[in-house]
Structure 1
Amino acid sequence: MLSRAAESLFWLGRYTERAANVARGLAVASRMASLTDELNAENDQWRSLLVAAGCEPAFFQHHREATEEKVVDFLIRDPGNFSGIIPCFAAARQNGRSVRTSLTVDMWSALSDSWTRLRHVTPADFQGEKLHGFLEWVRERVLLFNGAAMDTMLRGEAWLFVQLGTALERADATARLLDVKHDLLGGPSREVTVQHGQCQAVLQSVSGLRAYQWTYRDRIEPGRVAEFLILNREMPRSLAACYDRVCEVLELIAAGQGGRRGECHRMARATQAALHAGRIEDIMRGGLHDYLTETINGVATLGGEIEAFYIRA
């Protein structure tokens, strides 16, 4: 596969996953903002969402405060925000178009039809009561694209690079979300209602509330939420599960290229091994924020090593 095709497929996976993650975050922030004043005072949901999306500095270059209206608009349609939903779909479609022959008809239709609607979206389409419906539609479109890939795409290198981008982006999103809430998850106990609501929000942001309840069959506890989203390999969006997938895909790509491996393979395996052997007690003892900051930097470094080895080599 040509390096430019691998790059387009890799970023196609990353941008579609990013759009869905932002939609989930917006939906949860909107619900949390509608709760009691006491719960809202515990944390600024909208500013936290900007931090989790990795675009707080860009937002405050143009805005003085993180109000609901401004944050929603910024994270949905602002052309200067490359983590926004509409810009992500635009970038995904551009990358998909450059490798059109590698995609199936169903994949391209899901991507192209989504962009056809999104390019005409105005603030009136996602304001007020329309926001929830719009965000659900975004999530459904990404699920449709992922489902089309799962059901119709040949399991060759093109498939693998899309999967690699998706898994890496998912790991980054989970680490950022947890880092925003590290005081809640790794700090002292708080008022029960506040703590429970915030923990629910974290789990809902990764569509993991029911999975958590099924796993623990008990009330939600901050430490367990952190453990679930870092170390539980059965949870698709946990760091452990994401790195399992990254390592699996990298090994399959290497096998298809005669066993050629590089620094990205070593880094991914080292992180995977650390997650397999990790204990939440040790992570908390060393500082959850420091651990997640290191993880976020590690994901960024790994992404750079993947591109250096497969795309810019």
Structure 2
Amino acid sequence: MLSRTADHLFWMARYTERAENTARMLDVNLQTSLLPQSAEDAEKGWRAMLGISELQAAYDYKYPLLNAKDVLNFMVRDPDNPSSIAACLTAARENARAVRGTLTTEVWETQNATWLDMQKRLDGGLLERDPSQFFEWVKYRSHLSRGVTIGTMLKDEAIHFIRLGTFLERADNTARILDVKFHAAKDNGQSEEMTPRDFYYWAALLRSVSAFEIYRKVYRDVITPERVAELLILRGDMPRSLLACMDEVVSNLREVRNDASADTERLAGKLQADLQFSHIEEVLAHGLHDTLSQFLERIFELGKRISRDFLVPIAV
């Protein structure tokens, strides 16, 4: 496959997944901001979310004050934010348009319809009226895109590059969501004894990654931060966990390997093995923030190497 074609497929999937994960992160922050808390704590939550997305400086440059309305606008529709949901869905559509001949008609029409429908919903004021409904729509369209891709495309190199983009982006975003929410919990001084507020806090986090029902099925007990971390980092049977994502990355890398990709496969395999053979006690002893920060650094390096070996290299 031509590297430019692989590049478009890879980034189409990454941008679609990024839009979904941004919607998930905004939705959980919106829900937790409605819990009883001071205005200062609510602001900390929004500021932490911008920080973990590495967008704090860009936001501060454009907006003099930090409030939920401006953060939502910045993260959803602001044309100056290349990581906004609108920018991501537009980029996904443009990458799909560039390789329409590689995609099935159903995949292209799903991407195009998502972009058209997004314009109507934003122009119609859905974000202002009911932001949670808009975020649910973004998640639904992402699910639809993945389902149509898996259900209609030939299982050749094209779909492997699409899956690579999806799971690399998902791993990055799951780590970021975990990091921002555990940081917020620490800053808010949550005690080891769970309170009703703590329960809603962690339940909202689990729902943000579609893991609330899975948590209940796996643990059948009260929600604790340690088990939330274990589920979203080390459980290979949890679809959005870091280990599950790395399992998929390694598997799809194996299918598209070339003469230059041995070191990239080795890096991905080491990262997968570190997760597969870790215990949550070791992760917590090392420090959850440090563990997640190192994971994000290694994922970033893995993405650069995949671009170098298979795609159009990222300009540095």
TM range (shorter): over 0.9
Equivalent position of 1:5 in the other structure: 5
CA-to-partner distance for each residue in 1:247-302, whole Å, 9 max, x for gaps?
A: 00001112xx5x76332111100011111110111111111111111011111110
* 1:239 alignment partner in structure 2: 242
- Provide the rounded CA distance (Å) in 2 between the counterparts of 1:47 and 1:21: 17
Q: Which moved more, 1:194-203 or 1:88-97?
A: 194-203
The alpha-carbon distance between structure 1 residues 253 and 229, as it changes in their structure 2 partners (threshold 3 A), is: same
Give the aligned length: 310
Is the Cα contact below 8 Å between 1:163 and 1:249 reproduced in 2? Answer: yes
Question: 2-side partners of 1:82 and 1:133: how far apart?
Answer: 23
| Residue identity matched to 1:2 | L
**Residues 304 and 110 of structure 1, relative CA distance in 2, 3 Å threshold:** same
Q: Which residue is 1:62 aligned to? A: 62
3-state SS in 1 of match to 2:222: coil
In structure 2, what residue type is equivalent to 1:91? Answer: A
1:195 aligned partner, one-letter code: D
Hey, what's the Cα distance between the residues in 2 that align with 1:123 and 1:30?
Answer: 21
Quick one: distance in 1 between partners of 2:69 and 2:209? 23
Cα distance in 2 between the residues matched to 1:179 and 1:293? 8
TM-score calculated relative to the size of structure 2 = 0.91
Change (3 A) 1:260 1:308: closer
1:160/1:253 contact within 8 Å kept? yes
Aligned-partner Cα distance in 2 for 1:52–1:300: 14
* Identity over aligned pairs, percent: 37
- Cα RMSD over matched residues? 2.2
Distance 1:160 1:13 in 2: 11
TM (norm. structure 1) is 0.92
Q: Which amino acid letter does the alignment assign opposite residue 234 of structure 1?
A: D
Cross-structure match for 1:73: 73
Hey, what's the Cα distance between the residues in 1 that align with 2:64 and 2:212? 34
Q: Distance in 2 between matches of 1:62 and 1:190?
A: 41
Q: Do 2:78 and 2:84's aligned partners in 1 also have CA atoms closer than 8 Å?
A: yes
Q: After TM superposition, list the pairs within 5 Å mapping 1:173-252 onto structure 2.
A: 173-183=173-183, 184=185, 189=192, 192-252=195-255
Structure 2 unmatched ranges of 5 or more: none
Q: Which runs of no fewer than 5 residues in structure 1 stay unpaired?
A: none
C-alpha distance in 2, partners of 1:190/1:63?
38
Q: How far does residue 191 in structure 1 lie from its aligned partner after superposition?
A: 5.7
Residue 101 of structure 1 pairs with residue 104 of structure 2: no
Task: Indicate if the aligned counterparts of 2:175 and 2:242 stay in contact, CA closer than 8 A.
Answer: yes
What letter is aligned with 2:307?
E
Cα distance in 1 for partners of 2:58, 2:65 equals 12
Aligned to 1:166: 166
Distance 1:192 1:286, change over 3 A: same
